Amino acid sequence: MAEFKLPELGENITTGTVTKVLVNVGDRVEKDQPVIELETEKAVVEVPSDVSGTVQEIRVKEGDTVKVGQVLLVLSGEAVKAEAPKREEAPPARIEESGGLASGLAGGVALPRDHAVGVAVESPLPSNVEEAETEEELAVGPEVRRVVLAAPSVRRLARELDVDLQQVKGAGPSGRISAADVQAYAQKGNQAKPPEPKPEQPQTVGETVGLSSRSTALERDRYGELKREPMSGVRMKTLEHVTKAWETIPHVTQFDSADITELERFRKDHGKRVEAAGGKLTMTVLLMKVVAEALKKFEKFNSFVDVENNQILLKHYINIGVAVDTEHGLMVPVVRNADTKSLTQLAVEVGALAERARSRKVSIEDLQGGTFTITNLGGIGGLWFTPIIREPEVAILGVSRARIEPVWVENEFKPRLMLPLSLSYDHRVIDGADAARFLLWVVEALEQPLRMVLD
């Protein structure tokens, strides 16, 4: 027998909540095949098995909280490795990763640099692909199914597109299936496949939509009825993080507003060009570019506090988090090296990250490594607010809804589109004068974007 234990999932992540068990007793499991779906650190991740075999026992169920090192599955050792016919050594294969930016984004609006990001790398077949992963057929329960050669990211993509990998013919060595194979099959084969109707489940009294498996019946207190709603993993993490940040960081918020009349005209003029590349030129994207340049000039805003050693760690990389409002709670995926990317690249990446966050497909890695955060409530409304800093960062920029206001320009009042900005900062590191200078630079860059090129 072989035990599959919950592996290390990321820095400072020790527990998670099981949201779905992807295998059943009697199923054949291959090494690197996802077997458990886990909610942790504001993300839902698929955990792949590090052993092969037949599932004999499942020791967890949906809703269970599990710890790193805890046994999740017990597998028989008799089917750990199957005999495979000898074959000639396969040439190196192109492993395609899903979810990246399209390489060679052409025609992007660059302020001031434009670097294309590739999505494919040359690599030999991974060493953890066992000889058993061939086109031969293996008996699995009452059916006869072949073992599929596909990376975990490809298997995840197949589930998202409702594609049965058993039906996909891989174009890679030994029939290995790539993301492109799955997408091609989905476009051709799945178009004619009618969606299977989902049987309606009766809803019990007091059941909460989206939390039916964890809901409780209505209760009463002295004033009337009430219902307890358990916190999701996302909400519990939010509670933990904001409480720690509020208790340990002395917050101060600086307010200002920017005249974005000309910038909004620029955004509309070039929006279709960015959409052609697969992104959307939003005010958040424009702000990200401006903030990335500001962080180069004001290094303290891109730092962490090392309290134990009485030091300030100045980061030489700029990773900007973007707060995304989802039905599961607030998530903050991170765009890495934002200062090296064009507006078009930022637009594509921000859109992809936001979509993955809303569909709960964002990875733990996507949520880590941020050095500064932007949170935009302009799509909802409001004028000013005081955002809470995401510890261990030292600043966060809040954005509210722009509105037309009369502004004194050239000896007369003119209607101008004004954008309210709220900068919360850690007063242990940043003084009020520094914050005022930082926000003033951002405002002037929004009003006169070419200033960044001059600087």
Domains and CATH numbers, the chain: 1-81 (2.40.50.100), 90-190 (4.10.320.10), 234-454 (3.30.559.10)
Measure the CA–CA gap between 353 and 345, rounded to whole angstroms. 12
User: What is the predicted pLDDT for the residue at 451?
Assistant: 75
Select from 444, 262, 234, 442 the least CA-distant residue to 324: 234
Can you give the pLDDT of all 455 residues of the chain as single tens digits? 888 998 887 766 788 888 889 999 999 988 888 898 888 765 777 888 888 899 999 999 988 889 989 999 999 865 444 344 444 444 444 333 333 333 333 333 333 333 333 333 333 333 333 333 333 333 344 444 556 777 766 777 777 677 888 888 888 766 778 877 887 787 775 444 555 554 444 443 333 333 334 445 688 888 899 988 887 777 777 888 888 888 999 999 999 999 999 999 999 999 999 999 999 999 999 999 999 999 999 999 999 999 889 999 999 999 999 999 888 788 899 999 999 999 999 999 999 999 988 887 888 888 889 999 999 998 898 889 999 999 999 999 999 999 999 999 888 999 999 999 999 999 999 999 999 999 999 999 999 988 777 76
Query: Is 316 tagged catalytic?
Result: no
**What is the structure's pLDDT at 98?**
35
Give the Cα separation of 189 and 185 in Å (integer): 5
Nearest Cα residue to 101 out of 278, 361, 285: 278
Let me know if 2 is exposed, middle or buried by CB neighbors in 10 A (0-12, 13-18, 19+): middle
Polymer length of the chain: 455
* pLDDT at residue 101, as a whole number: 31
| Active-site choice (241, 251, 270, 427) | 427
